[in-house]
Amino acid sequence: MLTEQSQQTITTTTLPVMEAFYTLQGEGTFAGRAAYFIRLGGCDVGCHWCDVKESWDVNAHPHQTIDQIVAGALAFPGRLAVITGGEPLMHDLTALTGALQAAGFQTNIETSGVCQAVTGSWDWICFSPKKFKQPNPAIFTRADELKVIIYNASDFAFAESFVPNLRPNCRLLLQPEWGRSDEMLPRIVDYVKANPQWQISLQTHKFMAIP
């Protein structure tokens, strides 16, 4: 069941920004690319291993106007914007993505897919489902990339459960939870070798000690 909070999309011309910073995308298809990260506040998925729990409270982060957010991104030379959270689709992202694209940015999002609507204009949707809250099926045919965090062995079956519902060209990524890498990394390597439709994703920004 979706909660009342996750079913609700918050419509606003300002957004709660926990942090925004220019770095390299560390994970997934665009790993290694310079990117401006916009981390929005608010998430009720409740992953126990979440490394950004301070993002959860939607009311704990100062609001910025769309113009302020885009101006922050334009201060750097890269033109890849990654909207993350928290769960960014708690918010109506139509205005933000429109403004970013008008300013010349590629718009990528990382979402658990639990929210009712996929708002915004996206060049790339990374769908990263979590066991703690079921996604809305509306995300399945929008996803360009499925990225499943492998915390324990049962997560391989969890990852496979989504594949029949995705588009045929959706990229399939398995990523070890950072704290469980010693145990899960060898298993993912073996899994990808046996199931080559999958690919490994590593949190390379953590190896590089960058945000």
Q: Which residues bind ligand SF4 (CB under 6 A)?
A: 43, 45-47, 50, 52, 55, 85-87, 112, 130
* 135 close to 117: Cβ distance less than 8 angstroms: no
Please name the residue that has the structure tokens 């190896």: 207
Distance CA 211, CA 205 (A): 7
Of 39 and 171, the one with the shorter C-beta distance to ligand SF4 is 39
Tokens of 18: 């926990």
144 is in an annotated binding site: no
129 is in an annotated binding site: yes
For residues 81 and 150, give the distance between their C-alpha atoms in angstroms, rounded to a whole number: 26
| Residue 33, annotated as binding a ligand | no
* 68 labelled ligand-binding: no
Instruction: Pick the closer one to ligand SF4 by CB: 93 or 99.
Output: 93
Least CB distance to ligand SF4 at residue 93 (A): 16
Q: Which is nearer to ligand SF4, 53 or 63 (CB)?
A: 53
Nearer to ligand SF4, 47 or 58 (CB): 47
Residue burial 43-82, b: 16+ Cβ < 10 Å; e: rest: bbbebeeeeeeebbebeebeebebeebbebbeeeebebbb
Q: Is 39 annotated as a binding residue?
A: yes
Interatomic CA distance for residues 17 and 160, integer angstroms: 33
Least Å distance between CB 179 and ligand SF4?
A: 13
In the annotated binding site for substrate, the residues are 24-26, 39, 84, 211
Name the binding residues for [4Fe-4S] cluster. 43, 47, 50
Annotated binding site for S-adenosyl-L-methionine: 49-51, 86, 128-130
